[in-house]
Amino acid sequence: MPEADAEEKKPPAEEAPPKDNLVVTRHRARIGGRDLDYTVTCGTIVLKEQSEKDGKAESDKARASVFFVAYALDGAEPESRPVTFSFNGGPGSSSVWLHLGLLGPKRVELDDEGRAPAPPGRLVDNGHSLLDCSDLVFIDPVGTGYSRMMAGEKIAEYHDYKRDLESVGEFIRLYCSRYARWASPKYLIGESYGTTRAAGLSGHLLERFGLYLNGLMLISCALDFTVLRFEANNDLPPVLFLPTYAATAWYHGKLPAELQAKDLRSVLDEVEAFAGGEYAAALFRGDTLPAAERAAIAGKVARYTGLSAAYVERSGLRVEIFRFCKELLRDEGRTVGRLDSRFTGVDRDSAGERFEFDPGFSEIFGAYASTMNDYVRRTLGFEADAPYEVLRGLYLNWGWKDFSNRYASVGETLRKALAMNPHMRVLVANGYYDFATPYFASDYTFDHLGVDAKARGNFVVGYHEAGHMMYVHRPSL
């Protein structure tokens, strides 16, 4: 039949282009002693890139959608109201930790030490939120939260240092344009790999868009991976982790009585002097270190770590982080956490080299995951059937081609950004019980940035008696 033939020859219908999916709600909170009215914009923005055909620009092609939650104080003028863009690390982490742990108007309920109650988790008002000082935009990089690549796109394309900067940087540019925030003072706050991203963005945003930042807030710094990676040819980590070993042993009562009697800061002053002096010099000598001096160094490392001198000697004077987490409380059948060594866990047995899970992470993971899923749908009104990816192991296959054949380091990017933008200030926050990014390694990194004396005045550094997410500890918050 002619009608049937005509029907068969119709071209396929074109799919509608992807669209932003945004929900706007209004709220009130008491923060800093004031009742504040604010508006939340929650949802996904489509990121586009210009595609080419036969070497010619063809069109803007949707590549990914980025999920975000933005808080804006009602009635404020953009030119007088700062805006802070926030993200966490991993790489592979959503922004939930800084969002519901530190900055947002709601936070996950934990006890004063940072332990979660029985599930499910619960949100409480956060009187310490930054919203009284700055609008807040929480960004989930592609592959985390509800952020996804478009159908047919290479799913791992943005899982690379440079492409991550480009996508997050493009989101920030787009947000500033659409919501009229180019006239606002602009800040970034990142945690862990988020500090790698933030330092990289301080240069990328400046050089690509002319977007000069007023400040960076770096929580648990990872700017130079040389100081974090235990390798046979790298003697920096054993030196720079030693004070955190000592802090952990002190917390769990494993140091000699004369050290346990001191306050933590006094202990760390002594350990830092040894680590950066006698210990570093001994490791530098390698196999030429005489047996008597080797034994003496092993004894001192044992004294500051709560381990036996024999164990330290068998470890070649260099105690690797995961071995320490398993060894310190082995006789008690306990392990200590990597993200927060105040917390302990129980493995199937005590004979292994590594823990089965990180007690510092497992303590809070469930509370943050359940509250975020509930908050986004029930309070903010955003609905999605896809899983909210709190934390994915993207770091296992993360692209580092910009740092081929060397340790990743963004310190030089930060130094140059400070030289080009001397008005940018930098806040650095460290946790004494953080093995993921130890505070002494952070100190070493900033002491070797190569900035001039004037630029060093732009830095404010703080230390807290908690771990990687130091804000879970109420006094540190």
Q: Is 97 part of any domain?
A: yes
Distances in Å between the Cα of 92 and the Cα atoms of 128, 194, 285, 406 are: 27, 10, 39, 22
Domain boundary pick from 298, 328, 359: 359
Asked if 235 and 342 sit in the same domain, the reply is: yes
* Residue 1 confidence (pLDDT): 43
Asked if 434 and 354 sit in the same domain, the reply is: no
Question: Which SS3 state, helix, strand or coil, does residue 76 take?
Answer: coil
* Residue 192 confidence (pLDDT): 97
Q: Is 36 part of any domain?
A: yes
Asked if residues 125 and 106 have their Cβ atoms less than 8 Å apart, the reply is: yes
Least confident span in 55-59, 210-214, 229-233, 270-274: 55-59
Q: Catalogue the E-assigned strands of 32-81.
A: 34-53, 56-73
Asked if 332 and 349 sit in the same domain, the reply is: yes
Structure-token match 């990328």, residue found: 204
Asked if 211 and 320 sit in the same domain, the reply is: no
Asked if 336 and 429 sit in the same domain, the reply is: no
Could you tell me which of 408, 455, 411, 418 has the C-alpha nearest to residue 206?
A: 418
Q: Residue 16 pLDDT > 80, yes or no?
A: no
Domain boundary pick from 334, 359, 384: 359
Q: Is 16 part of any domain?
A: no
Peptide bond into 91 cis (omega under 30): yes
Q: Residue 15 pLDDT > 80, yes or no?
A: no
Q: Is 9 part of any domain?
A: no
Counting the structural domains of the chain, the total is: 2
Tokens describing residue 328: 């310190």
What is the pLDDT of the chain when averaged over all its residues? Answer: 94
Q: How far apart are the first and last CA of the chain?
A: 75
Average confidence (pLDDT) over 126-141: 97
Asked if 43 and 179 sit in the same domain, the reply is: yes
CA distance 312 to 292: 14
Interval 415-470: pLDDT, tens: 999 999 999 999 999 999 999 999 999 999 999 999 998 889 999 999 999 999 99
Domain that holds residue 276: 231-359
* Residue 210 confidence (pLDDT): 97
Average confidence (pLDDT) over 323-328: 97
Q: Is 211 part of any domain?
A: yes
Q: Judging by DSSP bridges, how do beta strands 83-87 and 135-140 pair with one another? A: parallel
Least confident span in 55-69, 132-146, 212-226: 55-69
Computed from CA positions of residues 378, 188, 67, 181, in that sequence, does the dihedral angle turn out positive or negative?
A: positive
Buried b (16+ CB within 10 A) or exposed e, 103-139: bbbbbbebeeebebeeeebebeebeebbbbebbbbbb
Average confidence (pLDDT) over 118-142: 96
* Residue 115 confidence (pLDDT): 95
426: CATH:
3.40.50.1820
Asked if 238 and 110 sit in the same domain, the reply is: no
Q: Residue 13 pLDDT > 60, yes or no?
A: no
Interval 88-112: pLDDT, tens: 999 999 999 999 999 999 999 999 9
Interval 242-257: pLDDT, tens: 999 999 999 999 999 9
% of the chain surpassing 70 pLDDT: 95
Q: Catalogue the E-assigned strands of 329-454.
A: 335-336, 344-345, 425-431
Q: Is 175 part of any domain?
A: yes
Domain boundary pick from 359, 393, 423: 359
CA distance 209 to 212: 9
Q: Is 10 part of any domain?
A: no
Could you tell me which of 375, 337, 340 has the C-alpha nearest to residue 107?
A: 375
Asked if 379 and 272 sit in the same domain, the reply is: no
Asked if 155 and 236 sit in the same domain, the reply is: no
Asked if 95 and 60 sit in the same domain, the reply is: yes
Residue 57, class by beta-carbon neighbours within 10 Å (0-12 exposed, 13-18 middle, 19+ buried)? exposed
Asked if 338 and 369 sit in the same domain, the reply is: no
Q: Is 389 part of any domain?
A: yes
* Residue 61 confidence (pLDDT): 87
Asked if 351 and 318 sit in the same domain, the reply is: yes
Packed helices 264-274 and 236-251: angle between N→C axes, nearest 10 degrees: 160
* Residue 58 confidence (pLDDT): 52
